Amino acid sequence: MKALVYKGPGRRAWENHADPVVEDPDDAIVRVDAVTICGTDLHILKGDVPTCEPGTILGHEAVGTVEQVGDAVRNVKPGDRVLVSCITACGRCQYCREGRYGQCLGGGGWILGHRIDGVQAERVRVPFADTSTYVLPDKVTNEAALMLADILPTSYEVGVKAAHVQPGQSVVIVGAGPIGLAAVITAKLLSPYPLIVIDPAPARRDAAKLLGADVTLSSDDDVKEQVLALTDGLGADVAIEAVGVPATFETCTELVRPGGHVANVGVHGKSATLHLETLWIRDITLTTGLVDTNTTPTLLRMLANHQLQTESFITHRFDLHEMESAYDVFSAPEDTGALKVGLFRS
């Protein structure tokens, strides 16, 4: 088969690769029907993720069709159309037993396209298939489901749910890339007000507005002053960090009111400064996290019920074999305006 192989920092290739086979009784072999690229894949290509070894097939967000399963697989069977989640879960360890699949100690967690071969290929082996794939309802298209492989559960779990967003609360989302926009969609499920989104790119602010943001601010604005003005002078109940750099994180800690919550969703490569000299007294809660995908079944059901608007994420569509072009487009969002790209088996 063909697969996108990481060849070491700066290098990738869409090349021939041996087909995957069932290795363990809980494995499934899935034919990839739709797949996307994540910002994390670009990080790996830059060499920022040393736990990913050259030779690994990249990708952790896909939808496909089950072709074969091991003897111990009970919930999916050949022919099933499934979501392949970014998180693989052994289902047995202490973390999995609490639904905290992202922290799986039994061989799961974020492994696809990282520690084992991923989904940017014609076929993929998914370990622990019963707890790592999700049969799609008939009403859900491959393209819509693809947004549930990573970005929607990530923003919902690590952002919205971690911050306990409640009706009528003020929420600021810093960053309107795919993760930030997914936070807008999933925060809206809880009827916050106002929902403020901050991003330097006008196109992304427009997208946020379209998805339901009440107010958008440019990063050049005096965001602190504006957020205070919109929140009775106290600051927001919740700030969601959806960028992953120290400055936006520190902004979040400045924008929340006493008793507020900062939910960090961004992937960080550097330390931030935590202003404990002002924060110690302000009853702040700060959370970090990797997605667990324990909300995936609920999100799929909501998708089938038309409660989630996922149509606007994919800005560019490709044939699966145009993987290299898709990478080129996705790597240059300033030029291409790419948000998410979608690759589909023809």
Closest CA to 174 of 151, 148, 193, 200: 200
Which two structure tokens, joined as six digits, stand for 95? 């973390």
Rule CB under 8 A: say whether 301 interacts with a second copy: yes
Name the segment binding a second copy (CB under 8 A); options: 49-57, 64-72, 80-88, 221-229: 64-72
Nearer to a second copy, 44 or 343 (CB): 44
Q: Which of 210, 229, 276, 332 binds a second copy (CB under 8 A)?
A: 276
Rule CB under 8 A: say whether 235 interacts with a second copy: no
190, 160 contact by CB (below 8 A) = yes
Q: Which of 138, 220, 271, 335 binds a second copy (CB under 8 A)?
A: 271
Q: Which of 68, 106, 116, 325 binds a second copy (CB under 8 A)?
A: 106
Q: Per-residue contact track with a second copy, 150 to 179, x per CB under 8 A?
A: ----------------xxx-----------
Nearer to a second copy, 24 or 328 (CB): 24
Q: What is d(CA 46, CA 177) in angstroms, rounded to the nearest whole number? A: 20
Nearer to a second copy, 184 or 299 (CB): 299
Phi, psi of 159, deg, nearest 5: -100, -75
Which two structure tokens, joined as six digits, stand for 275? 């202003």
Name the segment binding a second copy (CB under 8 A); options: 175-183, 200-208, 275-283, 312-320: 275-283
80, 129 contact by CB (below 8 A) = no
Name the segment binding a second copy (CB under 8 A); options: 13-21, 59-67, 294-302, 327-335: 294-302
Q: What is d(CA 90, CA 73) in angstroms, rounded to the nearest whole number? A: 12
Please state at what angle helix 39-46 crosses helix 323-331, rounded to 10 degrees: 90
Name the segment binding a second copy (CB under 8 A); options: 28-36, 137-145, 187-195, 332-340: 187-195
In sequence order, the β-bridge partners of residue 216 are: 197
The CA radius of gyration of the chain, in Å to the nearest whole number, is 20
Rule CB under 8 A: say whether 137 interacts with a second copy: no
Rule CB under 8 A: say whether 51 interacts with a second copy: no
- Identify the residue whose tokens are 């087909």: 19
